[in-house]
Amino acid sequence: MDHFSTPRTGTTEVVIRDGRLDWAARPDAAEPLRGPALPAVGRIEALRNIVVLVTVLLYLMLNWGFMQLRIPPVAGGGLPIGEIVLLLSLLTINHTGVLGRLSLTVAMVPLAMWWTFGVGRALFDFGVHGTWALRDAAHVLESLFLLVGFVFAGDPRSLERFFDWLPKLLVIAVLYGLMYPIRDEIWQLSPTITSGTGFVVPIFGSMETSAYLMIMAAVYLILVHGSKLLANVGAVMLIGYVVAIFQARTLYLTLIAVFCFLVFYRRSSLANIGVVVFLSGFLLGLISLIGLQFEGRLGATFDFNFLVAHFMAIFGVCDSSLEGVCAAAEGVGQRLEWWNDIADKMLADPFKLLLGLGYGVTLTDFYGASGAAVREPHNSYITVIARTGIIGGICWFLIMVSLIRRWHHTFKRCLALGWREGQNRLMVLMAMFICIWVLGIGEDAFEKPYNIIPFYFFWGIVLRFSLLLERGQVGPEAARVQAEACQP
């Protein structure tokens, strides 16, 4: 049963039970009266929702391995699972009605331009460069999952199931992420699949998204269970594990951004956040004091000196005593060269500056140790502009601004209603968005389906959540609104 305040009428009281409006009898009632139920979800819609939810979960959990699964399962051919689910979803929705409702929550002009121009450019470039154009256009194509998420959450019951599912996903993600130190053994035991470029990829053990899912889990503990010391300790352990084991420079920026976000939007949790920060610093000092040593992703021993050197590597400062850290620092100059070359190509041609270099062309002249070309310059924001020009870049920037504004508006609505659970839901999802945005600064975050699909699907959830909240179909006013609708 959903726990909402329930206005009473005579000998009955209005309750929401399993997504159904009931005029349930109190003990002194002679007979219960039943109000109209929410419309039943059709079989096609129910099946679509299950398939979509499982698909998003698998992209989040298995990321690189699941991304390679195609139908038919032939090397270098077939359609990725995400594109198939996207296509089937788009074929089973009422676009006129959906777009009309979507327009009530987000600015449609930049969104329509982004989709029209981006998809049109991808199809044009497909005729010139072949399938690589569609691969490079993954960001714009899979941003249509925003529609899929919006439709998925159209029924309040589906929305509630999603938020019931989210904590369970985070628990699984934490357990999976804790196996990162033995990922080599997992790779050896895992079934494999051949990617489109001919590489043999293990389905299990990639864990590319595990770090930010564990950060989401830490945020969930702080927000939902922050009054409990054990929850704060758990958040500290998760954050410490992520920093020490995954050893990615963007994680420092991510944690700074996430903590600033929490301080700004949940001042009442400032003490809990302070406890987490204090315990994190204490744990780091304790590790250095007792000389505890363990290796992370870069093969370097984690301690205070490593932490400082690794953070400074963000700015290209090289510590020669740490080989992995120094190699990471040297990569900064290489990225700057890539970005400068892209700028030169675009500035040399007004047409390319306006419309971009297009899809299907590599944006760097660098080749990895395997001989494969590095197609993206490891900065998603530069990639957006490089692929779609100033037009596409402005449209995408305006979309992000519009989404953030709607999130903020919805959060304020939850705040005004005193609905803490709604605030927590929004903040946990925003933690995930922040992780992807920060990752895009130094990596090709928005070029990877296992990032793009959940990112836009979750934004679709947020937008529909906002609309349902505004209409009183979810939240503390839901019982009253539905009860009034049942009055003769």
| pLDDT 10s digits, 142-167 | 999 999 999 999 988 889 999 999 99
- 286 vs 157: CA distance, rounded Å: 47
Q: Would residue 98 count as lying in a domain?
A: no
What is the tally of structural domains in the chain?
1
Average pLDDT, the chain: 82
User: Rounded to two decimals, what is the model's pTM?
Assistant: 0.86
> Is 287's pLDDT higher than 70?
no
At residue 176, the pLDDT reads 95
Most confident of the following: 4-13, 90-99, 273-282, 426-435: 426-435
Q: Residue 173's pLDDT band (boundaries 50, 70, 90)?
A: very high
Token pair recorded at residue 147: 């529609």
Collect all residues with Cβ–Cβ distance below 8 Å to 127 and sequence separation of at least 6: none
Select from 64, 377, 381 the least CA-distant residue to 210: 64
Q: Would residue 252 count as lying in a domain?
A: no
Q: Would residue 7 count as lying in a domain?
A: yes
What residue numbers bound the domain in which 4 lies? 1-37
Q: Residue 139's pLDDT band (boundaries 50, 70, 90)?
A: very high
Question: In 226-322, where does DSSP find H-type helix?
Answer: 229-241, 249-265, 270-290, 304-312
Q: Would residue 189 count as lying in a domain?
A: no
> Is 471's pLDDT higher than 80?
yes
At residue 431, the pLDDT reads 96
At residue 194, the pLDDT reads 78
At residue 370, the pLDDT reads 65
Q: Residue 9's pLDDT band (boundaries 50, 70, 90)?
A: very low
Region 370-374 average pLDDT: 72
Region 426-435 average pLDDT: 96
At residue 1, the pLDDT reads 36
Q: Would residue 116 count as lying in a domain?
A: no
Q: Would residue 25 count as lying in a domain?
A: yes
The answer to whether 174 touches 238, Cβ cutoff 8 Å, is yes
Q: Would residue 329 count as lying in a domain?
A: no
Between the alpha carbon of residue 416 and those of residues 62, 379, 411, 477, 479, the distances in Å are: 39, 38, 9, 12, 17
At residue 336, the pLDDT reads 87
Beta-bridge partner residues of 12: 9, 25
Terminal Cα distance for the chain, rounded: 25
Q: Would residue 338 count as lying in a domain?
A: no
